Structure 1
Amino acid sequence: MISYLSGIELIERIRYTHLRLDEEFDDLTEVELHVRLDGVDRTPYEILAYLLGWLQLVQQWEQAERRGEVVITPTATIRWNELGKLYAGFYEQYKDGTLEQLRQELRRSVQAWCQWIAELSEQELFGAGQRQWTANQAAWPLWKWLHINSVAPFQTFRTRIRKWKKIHVLHV
């Protein structure tokens, strides 16, 4: 299991994995953004929308809790066994974005995510029971929620976009 010694290390890992992922989009064209290929479960667009959706949703949970609201995860209308609906909402939300707009929005979201982490104490990040919303699905410390919604998908989707590009070359 991955563990961090400090919030700074978590931020560095988030930035590093995001940068590696973002580089994979450098040679994609606007036309390729929505191309679906057998062997890869998401288009490049869907990858970006998924990442944006999760980063923003988790921050919404945090903001709602800070306002004193009861947070229902993943949303008040979608349960954990209905994540396909959640993803469809992400895709709808970002459907009009260009490749560059989506990349810029992801960069801004990652920056906001890292700023949020920088403002948290080590106790908030690594202590048990620091947030009500972290106990809803699994009793994970906050850092694990942050990792699983940033570093982990950045790594996973970097692999998928690389696979997508290899398959795409065979079809061109």
Structure 2
Amino acid sequence: MNVPQTKSELLLAIDKNFNKLISYLNVIPPELTSDNSMDGHSKGTEMSIHDLVSYLIGWNTLVVKWITYDEKGLPVDFPETGFKWNELGLLAQKFYSDYRELNYRALMTELESVKDHIVKLIDERTDDDLYGKPWYTKWTMGRMISFNTSSPYANANANGRLRKWAKNNNISLK
């Protein structure tokens, strides 16, 4: 799928990519979701399915925070307060820790909930709000949302890692 350029394309990309990701995540036996046997977000590390879902929740939660702060006229710390763009591995570790106590079912519910919140925030905005002007450096709000929702749902961040992990564990994701 091409990079979304409009509100409707963004909503479609989120829906399509999220549904495919969820279909994969739903076939994974819950007892395997805590095994650190998947390539991690930092080079040379390993993580679990639970960590991957925590990572996605973390980024989606940041998107909600960014939009909410911006809406209130508050300064937005990109990517997150206390983290720089060259510290994303540390930020990933924070996300794993933030959601460590949730069981897999609760984690999946949280992922769906935060995705739904983002969709609501997008619905409340116009194409011009989302794509009419730069929001963070050269990137529009719509592009920043896409970078942290539909793109990681579909790319090697999630689906690619899941497919490789499933193949190594003889699990069919279909």
The normalised TM-score by structure 1 is 0.87
- 1:103 is aligned to 108
Structure 1, gaps ≥5 residues long: none
1:2-151 alignment, distance < 5 Å:
2-37=2-37, 40-41=39-40, 42-129=47-134, 131=135, 134-135=136-137, 139-151=138-150
Maintained 8 Å contact 1:34/1:43: yes
Paired residues, number: 163
Which deviations, in whole Å up to 9, do the C-alpha atoms of 1:105-138 show, x marking residues without a partner? 1111111111111111111111123x3xx22xxx
Distance 1:5 1:89, change over 3 A: closer
- Which structure dedicates a bigger proportion of its chain to strand? 2
Between the aligned partners of 1:3 and 1:127, the Cα distance in structure 2 is 15
Distance 1:5 1:82, change over 3 A: closer
The RMSD of aligned alpha carbons is 1.8
The normalised TM-score by structure 2 is 0.86
Q: For residue 169 of structure 1, give the secondary structure of its aligned residue in structure 2.
A: coil
Quick one: percent identity of the two aligned structures? 24
